[in-house]
Amino acid sequence: MKIHNECLTFNIPSQQNKEESSGSLKEGQTIRAKINQIAGEIVLLNLGNGETVQAKLTMPLPLKTGQLCDFLVKEIQDHQILLKPVLDDAEAIRVAEQKITSLLEKMGLTPDKEKIEIVKEMIRFQLPIQANTLKEISSLKTAYEKVSDWMHLLPLKGEDDLSEHSIQTVLKRVLSTEINPEHGVKATVNHSGTETGFNETKEKTGETVLLNVESKIANKMTKGSVEIAEKPAEGTMEKPAIEYSSGESEAKRPVPKTGFNLQNMTYEKIIFLLKNNFQGNIQNASNINQILFHTAPVGKQLEDIVGALKGQKEIEQLVKNLEDIGSRIKPSLIQDKESVKEVIKELYNTIQNIKDLAENGAVKIGKEVIQQLDSLKSGIDFINKINDYQGFLQLPIQIKGEQRNLEIVLCNKKKKNSSLNPSDLKIFISLDTKSLDTVQAFIEIKEKYVAVNFRLISEQVKNYVVKHESSLHTALKTLGFTKVDTNYSIFKDKLDLITVLEQEALFNQKKHNFVDLWV
């Protein structure tokens, strides 16, 4: 079942009627009413207790005379009661798509499946529905899909590094240059045109080129590249024959050898980048996959780097510093955010020091390790930028001598540089453990009260955590909390930053964001 966004409202004409009608109704209650009559925007509802009320629609709803319909009592205020129709999922989807179709037609756009899907995601992310933004999102997805096919041939480091150019510019280079199976994409191309961010117009993104992407790539594969397609040079042109089942998590999929990951760049990921003012490029796409969708989170990257560098006597102390970072995160979290910043800053500087020594020839490190160092640095920068807007941290943390990954989302943070009230906080944490898999929890703090709402992977894990609940209560009370509540649920899907923020947006959605229908 799904609660519909449009509402019904009805007025209670007198105090006596108000008491009869709303005295037994409470906010959050679901009631069933019969549609007795529909006349334009006026609906006559039979509440089933001999009482009939008149409601007014502000937008059309799929209601029929004689229909029984469930309504959520959204608000009771003065002489008005706000009801929200609850429709089954199939009907709700149909109605939503009808509205989106109508909107696209008014914008002069063809309401095809792709555009409807994009608008759904834009609504989900609370973005204004504008034609130029919609086209930008579509062109970005096309560009990511096409560039992904040629990633192993692109210059992604050095003077010709394309990883931070807009993805449309990279695609134009692929389409306008010869593809050489030994040397990749030629660097001698036209560099005219300014790089554009997500919030700029589409003038400079080469939309006309993108409109014919399919045919141009097909031409390249048939004109002069047939021999390559039939007899690929070893390890070059042939696309990897890897297929993934729909249920396989992204975190389990291997990262391409380029060190960058453009796998499955969905509208969700692209719109997240847009909303948070990231440019649509290879580097940011790779970061959203590795950091937010956990193909290579910070804790895992640090573990791999330490493992690869152990035994290098020239940088033995620097490697030990990296190894100890995780053990210093926990005490720094308890102290204050400045302590956490200092630890992460030290991690970043240590990575840079190792990279500098390698580039100066003081220590020999393989190219893949250099890529890992660059990737972790970029991931930390990416997290810092997100943290300006969303209150998000991903940290390496050491548990029983092993590097694990810890994620923290400050749900109360609404805008850049906004301050948080430590006595009124809602925090989401996600911790990767060895024995309990992923442990997630929403923590709500109100003055001296704290509620910990666990999301666990199985009943077995839940039983284990329940057995140790008293230790958690004791630890929280030593921090000054006088009342502690713990609740448990079993999850099917792990929450990530995007889904956490979406849940919070829905939970905190203001009543004036709905189309009210007061009767």
Domain at 447, CATH number: 3.30.750
Residue 23: predicted pLDDT: 53
Average pLDDT over every residue of 287-308:
93
Is the same domain home to 62 and 120? no
The 3-state secondary structure of 289-343, one letter per residue = HHHHCCCCCHHHHHHHHHHHHCCCHHHHHHHHHHHHHHHHHHHHHHHCHHHHHHH
pLDDT above 70: residue 19: no
pLDDT exceeds cutoff 50 at 151: yes
pLDDT band at 257; cut points 50, 70, 90? low
- The DSSP string of 202-257 is GGGTTHHHHHTHHHHHHHHHHSS-HHHHHSPPTTSSSPP-----TTS-GGGSPPPT
| Residues 162 and 241 placed together within one structural domain of the fold | yes
* Residue that wins the pLDDT comparison between 488 and 71: 488
Query: Is 389 exposed, middle or buried (CB count within 10 Å of its CB: 0-12, 13-18, 19+)?
Result: middle
Angle separating helix axes 337-359 and 367-390, nearest 10 degrees: 150
Range with the largest mean pLDDT of 137-141, 198-202, 496-500: 137-141
Q: Is the residue at 401 inside a domain?
A: no
Q: Into how many domains does the chain fold? A: 5
**Domain contains 57:** yes
Q: What is the DSSP string of 43-96?
A: EEEE-SSS-EEEEEESS-----TT-EEEEEEEEEETTEEEEEEEE-HHHHHHHH
Which pLDDT score, from 0 to 100, does residue 398 have? 87
In a domain, 38, yes or no: yes
Task: Name 235's bridge partners.
Answer: none
Bridge partners for 144 per DSSP? none
Q: Are residues 138 and 282 in the same domain?
A: yes
pLDDT of residue 211: 37
Provide the pLDDT for residue 247.
41
Domain boundary residue, one of 257, 286, 315: 286
Instruction: Please give the Cα distance from 206 to 14 (Å, whole number).
Output: 64
- pLDDT of residue 323 exceeding 80, the answer is yes
b/e map 28-45, b = 16+ CB within 10 Å: eeebebebeebeeeebbb
Same domain, 503 and 430: yes
Are 146 and 238 members of one domain? yes
Residue 402 in any domain: the answer is no
Mean model confidence pLDDT for the chain: 76
Q: Helix, strand, or coil here: 37? A: strand
Looking at the structure, tell me whether residues 444 and 481 fall in a common domain.
yes
131 pLDDT more than 60: yes
With a cut of 50, say whether residue 353 has pLDDT above it.
Answer: yes
Write out the two tokens for 426: 């809602």
Of 115-119, 151-155, 206-210, 311-315, the least confident: 206-210
The whole-angstrom separation of Cα 287 and Cα 275 is 15
Domain that holds residue 72: 2-87
Rounded Cα distance, 122 and 131, in Å: 12
Q: Do residue 144 and residue 279 come from a single domain?
A: yes
In this prediction, residue 222 carries a pLDDT of: 38
| Rounded distance between C-alpha atoms, residue 112 and residue 100, angstroms | 10
**Tell me, what's the pLDDT at 244?**
38
Structure tokens, 153 = 């041939």
Bridge partners, residue 8, by sequence: 57, 83
Contact 75, 84 (CB under 8 A): no
**Residue 45 belongs to a domain:** yes
pTM of the model: 0.69
Integer-rounded Cα radius of gyration of the chain: 28
pLDDT at res. 228: 27
Query: What are the pLDDT digits (tens) for 434-471?
Result: 889 999 999 999 999 999 999 999 999 999 999 999 99
- Which is higher by pLDDT, 381 or 50? 381
pLDDT of residue 515: 30
Lowest-pLDDT range of 1-10, 100-109, 356-365, 381-390: 1-10
Residue 458 lies in a domain: yes
**Most confident of the following: 177-186, 279-288, 421-430:** 279-288
- Across the strands, what pairs with 69? 33
Which of the residue ranges 236-245, 285-294, 322-331 would you say has the lowest mean pLDDT?
236-245
**Same domain flag for 156 and 254:** yes
- The residue with greater pLDDT, 185 or 275, is 275
Low-confidence winner among 23-27, 96-100, 184-188, 274-278 (lowest mean pLDDT) = 184-188
Instruction: Indicate whether 146 and 274 sit together in one domain.
Output: yes
Residue 75 has pLDDT above 90, yes or no: no
Determine contact, residues 415/389, Cβ cutoff 8 Å.
yes
Which pLDDT score, from 0 to 100, does residue 249 have?
Answer: 53
Question: What confidence tens digit (pLDDT) does each residue in 44-56 have?
Answer: 888 776 778 787 7
Q: Are residues 95 and 83 in the same domain?
A: no
Residue 239 has pLDDT above 50, yes or no: no
Residue 447 and residue 329 share a domain: no
Percent of the chain residues topping a pLDDT of 90: 40
Kindly report the CATH number assigned to the domain that includes residue 46: 2.40.50
Domain boundary residue among 87, 116, 150? 87
- Is the residue at 229 inside a domain? yes
DSSP 357-368: HHHTTSS---HH
pLDDT in tens, 469-493: 999 999 999 989 999 999 999 988 8
Alpha-carbon 202 to chain mean position? 24
Q: In the prediction, which pLDDT does 10 show? A: 53
239 vs 493, residue with greater confidence: 493
Residue scoring higher pLDDT (184 or 88): 88
Query: Is 500 domain-assigned?
Result: yes
Same domain (yes/no): 354, 282: no
pLDDT > 70? residue 519: no
pLDDT of residue 229: 31
Mean per-residue pLDDT, 90-118: 87
Polymer length of the chain: 519
Is it the case that residue 203 has pLDDT exceeding 70? no
